[in-house]
């Protein structure tokens, strides 16, 4: 009994085996992609919670705007007063 296989049948057989091996190797990749997508979703949810938490802090900075402006004005006033107190021949030590 002889087994005869044409070149076309042999090519189709090799293509089928190659496709089967490719599918077998793709299964872990697909599983990893699903896990990565879940991790990204969890990270996104965590980021949303952190942004909501930062909103309160940022609102607090808005309330500090007026006192900081007053402090800056006070520092400028003191600086100009010190400049007037300098004697006529003295140099500015910051230069």
Cα(58)–Cα(64) distance, integer angstroms: 10
Distance CA 30, CA 34 (A): 6
pLDDT digits (tens, 9 = 90+) for 11-62: 999 999 999 999 999 999 999 999 999 999 999 999 888 888 877 777 777 7
User: If DSSP codes are grouped into helix, strand and coil, which group holds residue 28?
Assistant: helix
**What is the C-alpha separation between 15 and 7, in angstroms, rounded?**
12
3-state secondary structure 35-69: HHHHHHHHHHHHHHHHHHHHHHHHHHHHHCHHHHH
Q: Is the pTM of this model over 0.75?
A: no
Q: What are the extents of the domains in the chain?
A: 12-84
């Amino acid at each position: 009994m002889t087994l005869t296989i044409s070149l076309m049948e042999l090519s189709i057989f090799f293509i089928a085996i190659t496709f089967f091996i490719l599918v077998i190797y793709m299964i872990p990749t697909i599983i990893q992609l699903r896990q990565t997508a879940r991790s990204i979703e969890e990270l996104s949810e965590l980021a949303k919670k952190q942004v909501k938490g930062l909103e309160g802090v940022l609102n607090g900075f808005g309330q500090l705007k007026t006192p900081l402006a007053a402090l800056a004005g006070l520092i400028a006033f003191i600086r100009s007063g010190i400049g007037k107190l300098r004697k006529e021949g003295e140099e500015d030590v910051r230069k």
